[in-house]
Structure 1
């Protein structure tokens, strides 16, 4: 190998190492839960919270026959969704929130497979916020014969024609705010969802208030406060879930 080729090879290797290191460091900059979110990571008289491989919110009273597998948004700590998932559990729905590698659902899109295999005691729907919702939709696309009973998208959409669910018979709910940072994409990608999809539009809601992790870069300023938006998210989610569990 001549000196020029050796030099080019060294440059390429160094470049790849730098890129890889930069990406790895980038993954550590996550949206952390606000202190208020951590309050809902504690068990109470209505919901038992277990944090291990995943985070489980389990109702202590009547438990619905349908549970929720939840994929968190990209680079968002899973604990940031505790306030909303706690409320879903208070409505009788067990929630298993997946802890994603490097906080990116793209690295474990198939995580639901293990839960579906291990937990045959009930039916399940899959849900997710932002990137988590896109990966949940991709799971449905890749496993059309899974025993999932529904797909619930929070501020999310399928990733283009390749992942289209237009011909799918699975019940789908799309819940989003009108001030979402990705509102144009959410509306454009409706063509890739089934005609029977139920849409829940939250006037004045934005992207970040689907969790409790503070403002998100590139997001729009909401016209409503977080409490109001999250109450609307829970109402819409429970309405969809109740239709499936009946």
Structure 2
């Protein structure tokens, strides 16, 4: 009974902690995480109601209860780990849908759009300010809201939602860049990697590519970028931001495991934006 009661409290407590500390992020993100939190609360309430009921004995029933308890603890740990890094900036003109944020040009629209995948566990709004200049240049920008903020869980990119755009640059930060590199569609006109690299060899791919990284990054380290450079499509352009770290590629504060910056965020982001803007503008 005590174990069941403790699990019930955890099933309610973990979602309560996440919502208390990340309410805005969860509310404005892909609905999958919120659904998972609500499901945990329901499980917790059910366990709490059953905590005082007598349970049938038996070796198999006991084994099943232990296995279920272990699984539930694992799920609780995963849910806590998935608590996203909250965005510290945004864009008041961004248009939200359940699965995307869109930055729409105010003037003439280019036939080249941008689909961007966030880094793991990062609030997608953290990239809106950095991508706004691309929309100002006429490129429709779609920032994907991945399920559970894990870009590898995204299905097909939202190209079909924008039939007015004929060509797309796919890009992303960290794990989001790895996911972007996996997109295989004839409408892809370019690949934009921020502190990221492909998971497999793409050197035979004829695709304009820009890789922007920081030389103080503690997660996608300079050694990682150098070692994986041969995987990039032939002719890929590599730009290094002096003093830049992993968390400078979005507005979400510091990130555990990152390096120590040798420049300020604004200076680094100006270089990231300028390189990305020039790359996308060249394509259309």
TM beyond 0.5: yes
Alpha-carbon displacement from aligned partner over 1:149-206 (angstroms, at most 9, x marks no partner): 11100000112xxx22111112111111111112122221112112211111111111
Residue in structure 2 matched with residue 237 of structure 1 by the alignment:
276
Which residue of the other structure, out of 126, 132, 153, is the alignment partner of 1:107?
Answer: 153
Is this contact kept in 1: 2:107–2:138, CA < 8 A? yes
In the alignment, what sits opposite 1:157? Answer: 197
From 228, 250, 271, the equivalent of 1:211 is: 250
Contact 2:206/2:234 (CA < 8 Å) preserved in 1?
Answer: no
CA distance in structure 2 between the partners assigned to 1:128 and 1:91 by the alignment: 19
Q: Could you tell me how far 1:107 is from its partner in structure 2? A: 1.6
Please tell me whether residue 118 in structure 1 is matched to residue 161 in structure 2. Answer: yes
Which 5+ residue runs of structure 1 have no aligned equivalent? 44-48
Q: Matches of 1:116 and 1:65 in 2, distance apart?
A: 12
Query: Taking structure 2 as the reference length, what is the TM-score of the superposition?
Result: 0.74
| CA distance in structure 2 between the partners assigned to 1:171 and 1:60 by the alignment | 27
Contact 1:98 1:111 in 2 (8 A): no
Is the CA contact 1:209–1:230 (under 8 Å) kept in the aligned structure 2?
A: yes
The offset of 1:9, in angstroms, is 4.4
CA displacement 1:44-73 (0-9 Å, x = unmatched)? xxxxx2112311111101322211001111
Structure 2: unaligned runs, 5 residues or longer: 1-57
Name the residue aligned to 1:20.
75
Structure with a larger share of its residues in strand: 1
- How many residue pairs get matched? 224
TM-score (norm 1): 0.85
CA distance in 2, matches of 1:111, 1:221: 36
For residues 209 and 195 of structure 1, what CA distance do their matches in structure 2 show? 27
Coordinate RMSD, CA, aligned: 1.8
Aligned partner of 2:179 in structure 1 is: 135
Partner residue in 2 for 1:31: 85
For 1:95, which of 128, 141, 147 is the aligned residue? Answer: 141
Greater length-normalized contact order (CA 8 Å, ≥ 6 residues apart): 1
In 2: Cα distance, 1:33 partner to 1:240 partner: 25
Partner SS, residue 207 of structure 2:
coil
